[in-house]
Amino acid sequence: MATTPTALTPSGPPQAEEVFYPETDGMPLADGFEQGPHFRDAFSTLSVRLGGPTTAVSGNSFVYYVEGDPGKRVAPDCYVAFGVDVESIRRFNNYRVWEVGKAPDFILEIGSPSTASNDIGPKRGLYASLGVKEYWRFDPTGGDHYGEPLVGEYLVDGEYRRFEVSSEPDGGARGRSPLLGLDLCWQEGRLRFYVPAAGRWLENHAEAAARANAERAARETAEARAETAEARLAEMRAELRRLRGE
């Protein structure tokens, strides 16, 4: 019986397997009921203020920091990276330090029962080693998780030093982020952002929507009043012409 020779695979160097970097671990945000509203506030506010083609604002997503090892990852609650290609980050749907060329510049963690010890311990050391320039921690409870309501730190020679955080007359706390050009403020358990150069507070998504709705309602009311006045004027002119016999 005739046989067909088996095709031989060309010899050559072994091909490296493509490494898979998951977009998510399939788990919800830790202590999401407590952290979720603050995360959404911070993320939406900073996205509107800072987001753009070269400024990435994200959070609750993986930052991979060792190429080839998907286990070397961390998920900041919120982060900002300046001078980056946002489209390339969005394409992967995660942040790969070796692809971007640097770690995020600013990281914010939101305190919760299951995350606080990691935020002030291992994560803090990791962020310093990666070169994260500013690291902020916000405690919604005012101190139950971190021992204080608001902490801001900046990197000097691989180590974090504290920003001054002042106590406000209303019981709040305020510190300034030179990187963001904003004041971070703890107010009655809420994190707010203030623009010193403009002398105004930034709105979160709900506040911006409420303002837009109020402006729309005021505009519609003004238009309705103008239409009513115009109709009344037309009636008066018609009555005047009738009296004149025109």
A 10 A CB-CB count for 6 gives: 6
Q: Which pLDDT value is given to residue 244?
A: 82
Same domain, 148 and 178: yes
Of the candidates 134, 122, 133, the one whose C-alpha atom is nearest the C-alpha of residue 73 is: 122
Give the residue from 169, 185, 202 where a domain finishes: 202
Whether 39 and 119 map to the same domain: the answer is yes
**Average of per-residue pLDDT values in the chain:** 86
Give the total number of structural domains in the chain.
2
190, 41 contact by CB (below 8 A): yes
- Residue 186 maps to a domain: yes
89: left (phi over 0), alpha (psi -120 to 50) or beta: alpha
> Could you give the residue ranges of the DSSP H alpha helices within the chain?
32-50, 86-92, 97-100, 116-120, 122-130, 205-243
- Per residue in 134-160, pLDDT tens? 999 999 999 999 999 999 999 999 999
Evaluate whether residue 17 is within a structural domain: no
Within-domain flag for 109: yes
Q: What pTM, to 2 d.p., does this model score?
A: 0.78
230 with 207, same domain: the answer is: yes
- The yes-or-no verdict on residue 85 having pLDDT over 90 is yes
Q: Do 195 and 207 reside in the same domain of the chain?
A: no
Tokens of 2: 């005739």
* More confident: 215 or 175: 175
| Residue 176 predicted with pLDDT over 90 | yes
Residues 131, 155, single domain; the answer is: yes
pLDDT digits (tens, 9 = 90+) for 8-64: 444 444 444 688 887 765 555 556 667 888 999 999 999 999 999 999 999 878 999
Angle in degrees, CA 159, 160, 166, rounded to 5? 160
In angstroms, the Cα distances linking 192 to 1, 126, 140, 182 are 84, 26, 11, 10
User: Bridge partners of 109?
Assistant: 137
Whether residue 52 is contained in a domain is answered as yes
Lowest mean pLDDT among 35-39, 116-120, 128-132, 221-225: 221-225
Please check whether residue 19 is in contact with residue 70, taking contact to mean a CB–CB distance below 8 angstroms.
yes
Whether 191 has a pLDDT exceeding 60, the answer reads yes
* 243 and 136 in a common domain: no
Average of pLDDT values for 69-92?
94
Q: Which pLDDT value is given to residue 14?
A: 44
**181 in the same domain as 209:** no
Give the position of tokens 């920003």.
163
When pLDDT is averaged across residues 165-191 and rounded to a whole number, the result is 95
Higher pLDDT, 14 or 97: 97
* 187 and 232, same domain (yes or no): no
Q: Are residues 134 and 230 in the same domain?
A: no
* 195 and 220 share one domain: no
- Residue 180: the pLDDT is 98
Q: Do 77 and 180 belong to one domain?
A: yes
pLDDT at 216: 61
**pLDDT at position 68 over 90:** yes
Considering the domain architecture, whether residues 62 and 116 belong to the same structural domain is answered as yes
Which structural domain range is residue 223 located in? 203-246
pLDDT beyond 90 at 210: no
Q: Is pLDDT at 214 greater than 90 in this prediction?
A: no
Alpha-carbon gap, residue 81 to 91, rounded angstroms? 16
